[in-house]
Structure 1
Amino acid sequence: MDRLSGFRDDVIASRDTNPIIKFTYALGDKFVSAVDWLQRMVSEPNFPRPVPELGWLGVTAVAVWIALAVAGWRIAVLVAASFVSFGLLGFWSDAMDLLIVTFVSVAIVVVIGMPLAVWIATSRRADRVVTVFLDLAQTMPTFVYLLPIVLFFGIGASGAVVCTLIYALPPLIRIAGHGIRSVSPTTIEATDSAGQTFLQRLFKVQLPMARSTIVVGLNQSIMAALSMATLASYVDGPGLGKPVLNALTRVDIGGAFVPGMLIVVMAIMLDRTVTAASQRRDVAAHGEGWSTRTRRIVLAVTGVAVLVCIYESRQALWAAQFPENQSGRWVADRVNSLTGWVVDTIGGFTEGVKNLVSSVLIDPLQSLLAESPWWLAAVAILALAWVFGRSRAIVPTVVCLVGIRLLDFWHDAMVTLTMTLVGTALVMVLAVVFGVWMARSRRVDLLIRPLLDAGQTIPPFVYLIPVLALFGPTRFTAIVAGIVYAAPAAIKLLADGVKNVSPTTVEASRSTGATTWQEITKVQLPMARGAIVLAANQGLLYVLAMVVIGGLVGAGALGYDVVLGFSRSEEWGRGAAAGVTIVLLGVMIDRITRAAADYQPQTAATRPGRLAARNRAGAATVG
């Protein structure tokens, strides 16, 4: 920790002389300039004007017209309602700031990510190299990005943009690269035989045929950027995350609820807009929607209306600055009243649940991992790594455990691991129950899947608000928030895995008279083992990320250590060491579960020697 604090001091002292630090700060200044210019355009007064260059009416009109042009009238109505809600609830400037940080970050992600996606799609060596960095970036909990980025880029808009683009970059590279790589080899060979160059094949064949997959990657990057831009408020990043964080520190549930719900509204708006825009060409190809002539007339007429709105927003104060109102505070007060009533009504039940889970699961496991001698806990973890992943899991587990021990955060790491394991166990219970139910019933799948999709668009920061209201600032709050955050992804992965089990195999089990329970436990779940392990992998990483963020609401352990590093400059080394420890913990968890997914235990029927002996014996008997 002392060495890390010394490293920080050296970096700060060399800002004017070290070429690397000068470059990063110069780059950060460029990001600040871009964000500042956009803020003066749409969200902050542009001196000497007392209002932005483009008022709320003009901004809303432009956004609605773009949505109409690229996604259709339904999405245009959604965008209009979303923008009006930002102003009605009193968070216009904060909402625009969050959109600005997200827009700038995603624009840079596209510029960097698409060439890398093409590179890994066309070069196996590049794929192996880049994948290592993508794995590390996606394994690292979001909260950990902030400390080193603030050191090299500073706080405010620069730090917010950098940490957001780093977090949003892997989804686009992975998914777009997969889409380009998945283009039919026959099509590629046909273009090669026609004498096309590499660039012609890329722009005329591969990118157009991978368009839908690339859009999925872009959508995921936008959601990741919105999530991280919200969390970046902890390093003074602009946006809706600031009022959420301020309200959480005051335990003002209503005050956090209003901007938190606006973040959800923004996430849904962006998600639906990008998805609808990607499908517009297919909709038009099927003859649905407006004809080309009608569409052009509508866009021309509405374009004139947009110009009128822009002019009005530059001339009239009412159209430049959203009228002040108390709607947001009124909603916050109602939420606080409702929260008080709910806590008074079911507070005893929630307290009982918290105490039961703590006494049955959390406390015994924490005593085993955190209170036992470190070497005994390490041996137990290594034994589990061997059982689940054999030799592939042992080496990374040893490296990570040694690193955690050397950083002197063993106890806090084991407490964090305890919370992560308990949360993941409960996530997997939900995943098995609802995943199997969805896989076996189309009606249930149609009912639950939209709720899971909506749950995945909610930034993790927002999950803390209702859970904090019910359980207060404790470690259990972080666990429950982690369960809610991780459950949608785990349930969908397991449901899809069970659904993909061969119908012939399921029918064969039914023909033998197997009951429903036997069919599920003896056929579907064993054959969906890969999906189950993948769901557990994602669940572990999601819960770990949420448990770390839970340091903001009293979860303690490594999350608190990182928060302490932010809060007090003299504790920066401690926060950085805790961040590295979290990374090691995440990598260890990821490698164990991945090795478990790849490992196929050999049974008596599958071991090569025994199988050959059995075949020889069978042949001799027949002879």
Structure 2
Amino acid sequence: MSETSAGSGIAARGLVESERLTNPAPKKPVEPGAPPPGVEDAGISRWIPALGILLVWIAVWSFTKGNNTLALPGREHTDLHQSLTDFNNRLLAGRETNPVMQFTNGISDILRTVFDWLQRLFVRPNLPRPVPEIGWLGIVAVATWVGYAIASWRIALLVLVSFLSFGVFGYWEDSLDLLIVTGMAVGISLLVGLPLAVLAGTSVRANKAITVVLDFMQTMPTFVYLVPVVLFFGIGVGGAVVSTLIYAVPPLVRIGGFGIREVSTTTIEATDSAGQTYWQRLFKVQLPMARKTIIVGLNQTTLAALSMATIAAYINGPGLGKPVINALVANDFGKSFVPGVLIVVMAVMLDRTTTAASERSEKVARGGGGNLRVRRIALAATGVIALVAVFLSRRDLSLAEFPTYTIGSKVADAADSTMSGFIDLVGGLAESVKNGISYGFLNPMQSLLAESPWWLAGLGIVALAVVFGGVRALLTTVVCLAGIWFLDLWHDAMLTLTMVLVGTVLVMVLALVFGVWMARNRWVDIGIRPLLDAGQTIPPFVYLIPVLALFGFSRFTAIVAGVVYAAPAAIKLVADGVKAVSPTTIEAGRSTGQTTWQEITKVQLPMAKGSLVLATNQGLLYVLSMVVIGGLVGAQALGYDVALGISRSEEWGKGAAGGLTIVLLGVMLDRITRAAAEVRRDDGPTTRRAFNVRLPIGPPR
């Protein structure tokens, strides 16, 4: 018997559900060095017709390049873009009478009011009384107590150190602002997302409808959310909370719904036989048994909210994102480094706290959790200490407003000096790598895609989509390309597509090297996996900081940031896929005298094709997300169009068209790679995989 297996798991903003199917291997003699039975590909490799298409494309391009590329000179916009801008202006002009605008403005005002109240409570002096309602000592004490109450003393210590670091490094107010925005978004996400998760978990028809909406929301890069949000909710707190909420809801709905659906049917049938009602079944069986999965969804929602709240600083959202953006614009590594590190500290704190809370809730549900009497006494005692700290923070000014320290500026100066020395040391090598990839790979591909006539590039992309994704990908590709053409940003779309493809190739090179290495060496896996986990916890915006310092403002900066952002998820997918290859199959190959290289290339990688295609899918989408954000640091193309539309009202139409083009590009790439994954089930006589993937663009976990 030969067996292939694709693992199932939960990752960021998503789920990967796969089936393990086995077929008897054909019994025939195996020659030395040959792959074991059942691993060979069936039919002609897709790369052969793909290569033929590329050769024809290049031949036609050589005679037609530079013609009908639909490139817009300078910052000009078309009649369509002006029409969209006029639509924006009409809505803004009628905000007092338009019922939709009145509704959204009302929501924005409510959110701003709640934020202002929380800010006066925790952060700003409430004049004429020159202290916050709860000072820094009380906040730190209560947060530490909450960490202990929902998790353990280790988490309490992590929370304590994290909160103190916010103040010691000079960003106490910005840190609390970011926590408030994140907390508001997560709270509303629970109110909206949990009922939707229940609906998706208990109704097949509702799950299908909700999944369509979630797919659209999770295929859209985060930066694109800002365009419609600015129109309807404005800049500032309202826009920041709403954009964060939109991005944070899908993980909770999808993962929570999955947990409810996975509750054992035997258990449900057994309790139904006792005559329980729908609500009794939901509250006494399904929700309690899905508790751990739902908390995992809450974990993902919290981290997604933090990630988006940071990006929302571009529309004047409060928090640590503001100093990061200001420093990035000034290309000041030191000033961006400290708030960037604090964002990572906050992400780690929230991630570990919610994860530990999930684990503890599971232990308590199973009757564990240690000596409950001792724990109650400890909670009561520490709770009294926290209340005393709150009381003191309301009476003593030094315990209300965090003391001023110069540690942050000193760390910033040290970071600047260190980065300058690092650039002096590796700057030449980095420039060589940049030039090598740019001139050897990026520029030729950009020339082919962006300098081809639009009809040639469109035909080439459609033909390649059919080759790799079959008929499943044809309709979606044609519709998306037609939409891109209609939105009058074809040339910019091809520039963005070039950067995404180059970044994805680099991601897959790293994924293959490190993924196979991890799968074949347990100690390497133990050493690298924590680094990958840490990389998946960091909000994507932070990746731009060191890369910008090293490479400056350029499209290459966006590509490298995208590679660093996408690599952890792709590496783990490849590693898990290669690990899942049946040991029996590997042993069969070794018995024929295969070398290590033959074993990897003829057995493990072919048997893990499903995981490789899945890793490519996620690499494409994550790189696309970062390349768009990279429009802020010189990447130009669609990312720049979106940023321009947000920052200048007269360019809103072009920004909106850019956002829609990015969505179409993301949907097209997603459907092609997903269709390619489904076609893989016909590649070999014993390797048949069926999986449904929906991972969000954003911080993978």
1:462-473, aligned counterparts within 5 Å? 462-473=542-553
> Post-superposition shift, 1:603?
6.1
Aligned residue number for residue 215 of structure 2:
135
User: What amino acid sits opposite 2:557 in the alignment?
Assistant: T
1:81-96, aligned counterparts within 5 Å? 81-96=161-176
Aligned residue number for residue 346 of structure 2:
266
1:213-612, aligned counterparts within 5 Å? 213-283=293-363, 290-600=370-680, 602=682
Say if 2:292 and 2:362, in contact at 8 Å, map to a contact too.
no
- Deviation string for 1:462-502 (max 9, x for gaps)? 00000011111110000000000000111111111121222
Mapped partners of 1:56, 1:525: distance in 2: 54
Aligned residue number for residue 616 of structure 1:
none
In terms of fraction of residues, the more helix-rich structure is 1
Q: Secondary structure at the match of 2:680?
A: coil
The answer as to 2:155 corresponding to 1:112 is: no
Query: In the superposition, relative to structure 1, how do residues 286 and 145 fare at CA in structure 2: closer, same or farther (>3 Å)?
Result: closer
Moved more, 413-422 or 272-281: 272-281
Report the identity percentage: 67
Q: Secondary structure at the match of 1:600?
A: helix
User: What amino acid sits opposite 1:260 in the alignment?
Assistant: G
User: What amino acid sits opposite 1:392 in the alignment?
Assistant: R
From 118, 123, 145, the equivalent of 2:203 is 123
Say if 2:360 and 2:369, in contact at 8 Å, map to a contact too.
no
> Post-superposition shift, 1:13?
1.4
Mapped partners of 1:587, 1:284: distance in 2: 42
Moved more, 227-236 or 345-354: 345-354
Aligned residue number for residue 619 of structure 1:
none
Q: Secondary structure at the match of 1:325?
A: coil
- Deviation string for 1:192-246 (max 9, x for gaps)? 1111111111111111111111111111111110000000000010100000001
Unaligned runs of 5+ in 1: 607-623
Mapped partners of 1:355, 1:492: distance in 2: 29
Aligned residue number for residue 57 of structure 2:
none
Aligned residue number for residue 44 of structure 2:
none
- Deviation string for 1:274-297 (max 9, x for gaps)? 111111144568898752121112
From 280, 283, 286, the equivalent of 1:203 is 283
Query: In the superposition, relative to structure 1, how do residues 567 and 604 fare at CA in structure 2: closer, same or farther (>3 Å)?
Result: closer
Mapped partners of 1:548, 1:516: distance in 2: 40
The answer as to 2:249 corresponding to 1:169 is: yes
Query: In the superposition, relative to structure 1, how do residues 291 and 602 fare at CA in structure 2: closer, same or farther (>3 Å)?
Result: closer
- Deviation string for 1:401-434 (max 9, x for gaps)? 1111111111111010000000011101111111
Mapped partners of 1:68, 1:281: distance in 2: 13
Mapped partners of 1:528, 1:440: distance in 2: 13
Aligned residue number for residue 177 of structure 2:
97
- Deviation string for 1:101-160 (max 9, x for gaps)? 000101111111111111111212111111111111111010000010111011111000
The answer as to 2:116 corresponding to 1:36 is: yes
> Post-superposition shift, 1:37?
1.0
Say if 2:252 and 2:294, in contact at 8 Å, map to a contact too.
yes
Say if 2:554 and 2:635, in contact at 8 Å, map to a contact too.
yes
Query: In the superposition, relative to structure 1, how do residues 285 and 574 fare at CA in structure 2: closer, same or farther (>3 Å)?
Result: closer
Matched residues, number: 607
Mapped partners of 2:339, 2:88: distance in 1: 34
* Structure ranking higher on relative contact order (CA contacts 8 Å, 6+ apart): 2
Unaligned runs of 5+ in 2: 1-80, 687-701
Say if 2:221 and 2:628, in contact at 8 Å, map to a contact too.
yes
Mapped partners of 1:468, 1:185: distance in 2: 52
The answer as to 2:262 corresponding to 1:182 is: yes
- Deviation string for 1:536-555 (max 9, x for gaps)? 11111100000000011111
- Deviation string for 1:3-60 (max 9, x for gaps)? 1101101110121111111111111111111111111111122222223211110000
From 132, 140, 152, the equivalent of 1:72 is 152
Say if 2:292 and 2:361, in contact at 8 Å, map to a contact too.
no
Query: In the superposition, relative to structure 1, how do residues 430 and 255 fare at CA in structure 2: closer, same or farther (>3 Å)?
Result: same
Say if 2:609 and 2:680, in contact at 8 Å, map to a contact too.
no
Say if 2:201 and 2:257, in contact at 8 Å, map to a contact too.
yes
Q: Secondary structure at the match of 1:599?
A: helix
Aligned residue number for residue 232 of structure 2:
152
Query: In the superposition, relative to structure 1, how do residues 323 and 312 fare at CA in structure 2: closer, same or farther (>3 Å)?
Result: same
> Post-superposition shift, 1:508?
2.0
- Deviation string for 1:497-541 (max 9, x for gaps)? 121222222222222322222222222212211111111111111
Compute the TM-score of the two structures, normalised by the length of structure 1: 0.95
> Post-superposition shift, 1:189?
1.1
Q: Secondary structure at the match of 1:53?
A: coil
Mapped partners of 1:605, 1:580: distance in 2: 41
Mapped partners of 1:195, 1:402: distance in 2: 55
Mapped partners of 2:208, 2:364: distance in 1: 39
Query: In the superposition, relative to structure 1, how do residues 56 and 369 fare at CA in structure 2: closer, same or farther (>3 Å)?
Result: same
User: What amino acid sits opposite 2:643 in the alignment?
Assistant: V
From 126, 132, 143, the equivalent of 1:52 is 132
User: What amino acid sits opposite 1:468 in the alignment?
Assistant: L
Mapped partners of 2:227, 2:411: distance in 1: 35
Query: In the superposition, relative to structure 1, how do residues 456 and 604 fare at CA in structure 2: closer, same or farther (>3 Å)?
Result: closer
Mapped partners of 1:287, 1:114: distance in 2: 26
Mapped partners of 2:626, 2:544: distance in 1: 9
Query: In the superposition, relative to structure 1, how do residues 140 and 156 fare at CA in structure 2: closer, same or farther (>3 Å)?
Result: same
User: What amino acid sits opposite 1:526 in the alignment?
Assistant: P
User: What amino acid sits opposite 1:234 in the alignment?
Assistant: Y
